[in-house]
A and B are shown apart, each in its own frame.
Chain A
Amino acid sequence: MAEPKTKYDRQLRIWGEQGQAALEKASICLLNCGPTGSETLKNLVLGGIGSITVVDGSKVENGDLGNNFMVSESSLGQPKAKCVCAFLQELNDAVKAKFIEEHPVTLIETNPSFFSQFTVVIATQLVEDSMVKLDRICRDANVMVIFARSYGLTGFVRISVKEHAVIESKPDHFLDDLRLNNPWPELKKFTESVNLDIPDPVVHKHTPYILILVKMASEWAKTHGGKLPSTREEKKEFKELIKGKIIKDEDEDNYKEAIEASFKVFAPQGISSNLKRILDDTCSEVDSCSSDFWVMVAALKEFIANEGGGEAPLEGSIPDMTSTTELYINLQKLYQAKAEADFLIVEQHVRDILKKIGRDPFSISKPVIKSFCKNSRKLTVCRYKPIDEEFNSPILPEMQKYLADEEYSLAVGFYILLRAVDRYSANYNTFPGQFDGGMDEDVSRLKTTAVSLLSDLGCNGSTLTEDLINEMCRYGAAELHAVAAYVGGVASQEVIKLITRQFVPMTGTFIFNGIDHKSQLLYL
């Protein structure tokens, strides 16, 4: 029975078999299995993650029964890691689940090499000091980390990894690569064989818009000194010319599509600024230590500068459009052939570069290079600052901008206070408002802590509202289930993106705002 395929059908439609295989190979370490950690892991276990290791040193108490679904009455007094692990295993027996009854803080202090065995470490509910230490350990070991914290009605998610390159970024809306503004010789030639003024009305209304636009653009260029429409008037005129081709009283969808797609003719030639930034990155000067990704970028750079004539390799697919079957299929083949030719050239560059830097020329496989070519316009590189750098020297102008911006006021306030409560707990061995009574004192202590933190960050004179400081004390470090499920949900979604290497993970620090849902990403 092809059960896994059916079971994972709804997600295979998103990340495909390759993405699934990456998930099934990944090993995850979870630090602290309160609701935030448990919920993060639950979403990954359901999706068929390879293996999980749950690290938590606490025993299940009554309070845990009120916020964590993975423990129940019968777990009282037992190791939390064991109970959570058992429940997760029940969700999916394909996952290898184990637990370690140990406080994460101890593990970070005493056994740093422990973490190097994992693909991703999910660190939940850690205080600042442990975050910084863990981050250093994992950066050195090249292990991805995601930090997640739920705290009252707020919380955060932050990825930490030196660099994460995405080939299959699969953006929602992306301009297709039709080269209507810069057709290659074969496409030009194919277009020349087509007569737009053909009298047969059936053929006329089934001429695909690609051909209409390439043909009309070339006619325009002939009478405009080789230039395509660029001013508003010219664009309008061009569209009118297309409209003029429609046979009177006929409903010709292909010409309507041509008018709608005419902006593709007006688009500038060459590569996007995003891609240019990647090509110009110092990492594209490759040596024997370079990653496969940067080797391929170097090859891409050579292609664009030489054979590509300033354009990236052709993607090779075309969208559906009104057409006869035959013309459409022929066009499809034409695009595919050009994409294949471009790929072969890039492949050769890759092999040459590998040889030059002293690596096996065939150490990067054909399918990988092919996928790289097909997605070359959508390449994305995400970089994340070390945690202690952000904590000790955040980008001051950004911080000041957030502090002054109404839209960010709650989010940046929470950011400061989430850090202030950790300082507070380092000083007083408890979080503000963790226990009933003495609330006024906690509020004033937290305020003092926040003010001194702000001044340490260089934001002298900035203050947070009394209401927000009060609110933070009200939370008393509560880990509410709904907030934990939200924060854990976000963390698990990002982990999936990191592991599948598909889609673009978030950058910056995500601050959850459970008051009015004006959550924000802060880039500090």
Chain B
Amino acid sequence: MQRKIQAPDYHPLPSGPLPSVPVTVGCRSLVSSNCNTQCNSDRELLMADATAPQSSRSRDLDKLLLRPGHLVGPTFEPGTELRDDLQEYARILVVGAGGLGCELLKDLALSGFRNLEVIDMDRIEVSNLNRQFLFRLEDVGKPKAEVAAKRVMERVTGVNIVPHFCRIEEKELEFYTEFSIIVLGLDSIEARSYINEVVCGFLEFDNNDKAVEESMKPMVDGGTEGFKGHARVILPGITPCFECTIWLFPPQVKFPLCTLAETPRTAPHCIEYAHLMKWGEVHPGKTFDPDDPEHMQWVYLEAVKRAEAFGIPGVTYTLTQGVVKNIIPAIASTNAIISAACALETLKIASGCSKTLSNYLTYNGVEGLHTKATEFVKDNDCPVCGPGIFMELDTCLTLKMLMEQLEDHPKVLMSRVSVKYQSKTLYMQSPPELEALTQSNLSVPLFNLMDKSPKGIVHVTGLAGKGDTRQSCSKKLRVVFKGVGVGITDTDMAGGA
């Protein structure tokens, strides 16, 4: 699904300030006068000299954006207006300024986008320099987002990049609504889940449980490990969101504590023993800091001692770091490939200039070269991007009454229910301390617990089924209160985030 970038679509908050972008008009005039009148004489030139020195900066991109095609997105409207709209109105957020983020900023800046922002909480480390090409040795210790933004702006004139040196959770939800497309260059499942929940939380549904197109914010996500990587397009409400396919991520390997304590066999067992057990024993109350070289050295030496005691080979300082910090190997080439795929998809979503990846690309260069595009299917019952179960409620309905209703509601049928609204726990069945703490909410009307908002998303967890087949499950409820006006343009972004 391609969407043409148009000003009204992408400024849901009218107060949102536009970054002041210096718009060079030179490109435009050059393009329009380029060849229409001169093509015959140009054709006489030899290939090497074919492009005049005063060729337009968007010489190559113009081929894709200004010319009609047959293998393009349904909304593609080629022309200079499209190119100018991309420059002027499309706002892209890059989440992460690491191996993928550096590449993404460069790729997007050279793909016709001019309004970019980047968010990253990390500072530059020496071990980043083998792939994060926007950083130099003298930048070590500086915020990644700031240096990355500065370097790209220095080289690509006309591009404006706003850096945000902070955690993604620190930003208000409104921050994320400002962007046309959000591109993720992350290395953690948690961070992906967070952004996914925020963006899917923006979804509005119509009376037929169909996602409202205007409320969809496309995401493009990349990830790499060694010679392997993936790139995917998430159109919330249409293609599977991160949560729908969470099973794609294998569970992390964890060693049983009894193995570490009693029957260590491998070097990682010795390292994790020193890290997880011995450290706490010897340094009560002192938190282990993986970034403190002295702490790491201590764990390494303890691991060596333990390995010697058991006759286990293979403990090295490098391995110790790898195990303790769960270091994922990373190289420039894979990051370049995956970022390029993500940037290309971003351009295609924004302009419609070609079809869109549908919807998950894997790349594996370990043995030969394997690449595959897989079309995963959305989970309609997904608690994050699904419509949830629509419930129209009276404002006087208490939480307890709601919970009773859920036991019999044909689409819910859940007992022992715990209830959450946004980040607020309204009621928890267990542990007893939490139950006691939230018990008083049971007699309060849900409307009040939801800060009297006319509608919102409530997440419930509990047991579904009966007898032996009972199992825990969670559901999303799309609650609307009767008799409270709900404007169509309402931008209250209720969500699980």
A residues within 8 Å of B by Cβ? 3, 6-14, 35, 39, 42-44, 46-48, 57-59, 61-63, 65-69, 72-73, 77, 90-92, 103, 152-153, 169-172, 206, 320-325, 328-329, 425, 428-431, 433-439, 466-468, 470-471, 474-476, 478-486, 488-490, 492-494, 496-497, 503-507, 510, 514-519, 521
B371 at interface, CB cutoff 8 A: yes
Give A17 Cβ to nearest chain B Cβ, in Å: 10
Contact A516 B355 (CB under 8 A): yes
Q: Type the 1/0 row for B329-347, where 1 means its CB is closer than 8 Å to any CB of A.
A: 1111111110111011001
Where the two chains meet, the residues of B that have a C-beta atom closer than 8 Å to any C-beta of A are: 34-36, 39, 42-48, 50-61, 63-64, 67-71, 103, 106-107, 110-111, 126-127, 129-131, 133, 136-137, 154-157, 226-227, 259, 263-266, 269, 310-312, 318, 321-322, 327-337, 339-341, 343-344, 347, 354-355, 357-358, 361, 364-369, 371, 373
CB pair B50 A62 closer than 8 Å: no
Q: Provide 7 A-B residue pairs closer than 8 Å at the C-beta atoms, listed in order of the A residue.
A: A72-B157, A324-B263, A436-B36, A480-B64, A483-B344, A485-B107, A503-B365
Assess the A206–B111 pair: CB atoms within 8 A: no
Q: In the bound complex, do residue B55 and residue A506 qualify as a contact, i.e. CB atoms below 8 Å apart?
A: no
Among A68, A324, A482, the most chain B Cβ lie within 10 Å of the Cβ of A482
Assuming the contacts A3-B126, A320-B266, asked whether A437 and B35 have C-beta atoms less than 8 A apart, the reply is yes
A61: which of B43, B55, B107 is its contact (CB, 8 Å)? B55
Q: Is the CB of A63 within 8 A of B367?
A: no
Report Cα–Cα, A496/B337, bound state, in Å.
14
Shortest CB-to-CB span from B394 to chain A, Å, is: 50
Contact of B47 among A6, A73, A425 (CB under 8 A): A425
Rounded to whole angstroms, the CA-CA distance of A516 and B39 in the bound complex is: 32
A-B contact count (CB 8 A): 285
Indicate if the CB atoms of A489 and B340 lie closer than 8 Å: yes
**B354–A514 touching, CB < 8 Å:** yes
Contact A325 B263 (CB under 8 A): yes
Cβ 8 A contact of B53, one of A10, A77, A481: A77
Query: Are B367 and A169 touching (Cβ within 8 A)?
Result: yes
- Cross-interface CB contact of B55 among A11, A62, A170, A496, cutoff 8 Å: A62
A492 to B335, CA, bound (A): 11
**Within the complex, which residue of A8, A172, A329 is in contact with B366, where a contact is CB–CB below 8 Å?**
A172
Instruction: Tell whether, in the assembled complex, residue B332 and residue A492 are in contact, meaning their CB atoms are under 8 Å apart.
Output: yes
Known A-B contacts A69-B110, A435-B42; A518 and B373 likewise in contact (beta carbons under 8 Å) = yes
A385 to B266, CA, bound (A): 45
Residue in A closest to B108 when the chains form the complex, CB atoms: A482
Tell me which of B39, B110, B335 contacts A437 (CB under 8 A): B39
CA distance A13 to B227 in the complex (A): 12
Say whether A66 contacts B61, CB under 8 Å: yes
User: Assuming A325-B310, A480-B60, is B331 touching A430 (CB within 8 A)?
Assistant: no
Known: A437-B36, A492-B332. A515 touches B71 (CB 8 A): yes
A90 and B136 in contact, given A329-B310, A490-B337 (Cβ under 8 angstroms): yes
Cβ A488 vs Cβ B336 within 8 A? yes
The answer to whether B126 touches A65 (Cβ under 8 A) is no
Across the interface, B39 reaches (CB within 8 A) one of A44, A435, A496, namely A435
Q: How far is the CB of B339 from chain A (nearest CB, A)?
A: 7
A517 CA / B375 CA spacing, docked (Å): 12
Q: Are B127 and A10 in touch, CB under 8 angstroms?
A: yes
* Chain B nearest Cβ from A71, distance in angstroms: 8
A39 touches B336 (CB 8 A): yes
A493 to B330, CA, bound (A): 12
Of B43, B51, B336, the residue contacting A485 (CB under 8 A) is B336
